[in-house]
Amino acid sequence: MSPRHLISLDDLSDADLRAIVARGAEFSAGTAAHGDPLAGTVSGIYFRKTSTRTRTAFSAGALRLGGQIVSYGPDDLQLNTGETTEDTGRVFSRMLDVLVARTAGDPAEMRGWAAQQRMSVVNAMSADEHPTQGLTDLTTLLRRFGRVDGLRVLYLGEGNNTAAALALGLSRYTGTTLELRTPQGYGLAPAVLRRAQEQAARTGSVVNEQHHMQDTAGPDATVGGFDAVYTTRWQTTGTAKADPRWRERFLPFRVTAELWRTSPHAVFMHDLPAHRGEEVAAEVLDGRHSIAFAQAENKMHSAMAVLEWCVRGVVASPSGAEPLTVAAGR
């Protein structure tokens, strides 16, 4: 059987996307019977950029599923002495079953590693997309609400790789709404926005991007009626902004407690790390609406689902149904 790769959420079929998310929710709820599906396998964990949650999630997840890991830092490989990416990938594929890699660069490198028939490749963040974060976010929504279909999400801030994955994932569910409010010049890449809107048209969902905070409902309106409010740090890992005054353009897009005036039942999500007082007020991140730290924990559960899918295929729940609602922790 050919190895399964996760380079972009766009690579997954609708069925595989939903199955991985549902499986992650089962792991999160503690209802997943799994044994040791990774027994006898070795996963390489290669991170060229900093990581707290994703690196730990895949390392701990592989071990919890009975696998073994080999970890590499940015200075550990012969890539630094001139070995080609292609040769490195060929060697990896003869020793590893899965390679989980964060490059924060061009995903073409990972697709090169995936051009073999032995080893699965998982994108743990590239410059254009953070697909494992997108799966984590969908898993978190499913755990909180018992469904993803029909949910309304407001995203504030930069249209970065996390926002790209959220758009490409949420738009695959039926009847969802994703409202992205980003500073002018810092929105989703046009190709990503176009692809997400194409998928939304197919599923009866909506993906919309605006570059201001004022709602079309009237001059006094801000936002309203959302199930989740989501933001990320303004300075994306591995990137820098050319405009020295860029922070001024982001200030109107801060997440403050005022947003809950019109969406009183919404939860707050953040992919972390967070900078309190910048993209989010401390009272929101640490308040009763926040599920950001449950979301962080779900990164491990989602990673377990991804690894299982890569190596064994998704094990469906006995009923074939998505998990029931379990209240989110903090």
Model pTM? 0.92
| Terminal CA-CA length for the chain | 40
What the block records as the tokens of 181 is 């409010």
Q: What is the CATH number of domain 133-294?
A: 3.40.50.1370
Query: Nearest to residue 94, comparing CAs of 66, 122, 75, 113?
Result: 113
Distance separating alpha carbons of residues 92 and 79, to the nearest angstrom: 12
**pLDDT tens-place values along the chain, 330 residues long:** 689 999 999 999 999 999 999 999 999 999 988 889 999 999 999 999 999 999 999 999 999 999 999 999 999 999 899 998 889 999 999 999 999 999 878 899 999 999 999 999 999 999 999 999 999 999 999 999 999 999 999 999 999 999 999 999 999 999 999 999 999 999 999 999 999 999 999 999 999 999 987 654 333 334 579 999 999 999 876 667 888 889 999 999 999 999 999 899 999 999 999 999 999 999 999 999 999 999 999 999 999 999 999 999 876 554 444 443 344 433
Question: In this structure, which topology does domain 9-129+299-311 adopt according to CATH?
Answer: Rossmann fold (3.40.50)
Close Cβ partners of 154 (under 8 Å, ≥ 6 residues apart) = 179, 181, 223, 226, 228, 229, 230, 259, 263, 266
**How distant, in Å, are the alpha carbons of 45, 159, 161 from that of 164?**
23, 7, 5
Question: 275: part of which helix (H) or strand (E)?
Answer: none
| 19 Cβ contact partners less than 8 Å away, ≥ 6 residues apart | 309, 314, 316
Structure tokens at 287: 């308040």
Q: Residue 273, preceding bond cis, omega within 30 degrees?
A: yes
Asked if residue 16 lies in contact with residue 309, where contact means CB atoms within 8 angstroms, the answer is yes
SS3 100: strand
Which residues does 211 contact at the CB level (< 8 Å), separation at least 6? 181, 182, 183, 184, 187
Residue spans of the domains in the chain: they are 9-129+299-311, 133-294
With beta carbons less than 8 A apart as the criterion, state whether 98 and 110 touch.
no
Is residue 129 within 8 Å of residue 161, measured between CB atoms? Answer: yes
- Report residue 189 as tokens: 């890449």
Q: Which pLDDT does position 315 carry in this prediction?
A: 64
Other C-beta atoms within 10 Å of 232: how many?
Answer: 27
Q: Where are the alpha helices (DSSP H) in the chain?
A: 14-29, 53-64, 85-93, 108-113, 131-145, 161-170, 190-203, 246-250, 282-285, 292-311
Residue 279, helix vs strand vs coil: coil
Determine if residue 193 is left, alpha or beta; phi over 0 gives left, psi from -120 to 50 gives alpha, anything else beta. Answer: alpha
Place of tokens 């959302």: 226
* Interstrand relation of 177-181 and 267-270 (parallel, antiparallel or unpaired): unpaired
Q: Please, what's the largest Cα pairwise distance for the chain?
A: 61
Dist CA 38 CA 41 (whole Å): 5
Decide whether 9-129+299-311 matches 133-294 in CATH topology. yes
Closest Cα partner for 7 from 164, 140, 159?
164
Alpha-carbon distance 16 to 114, whole Å?
18
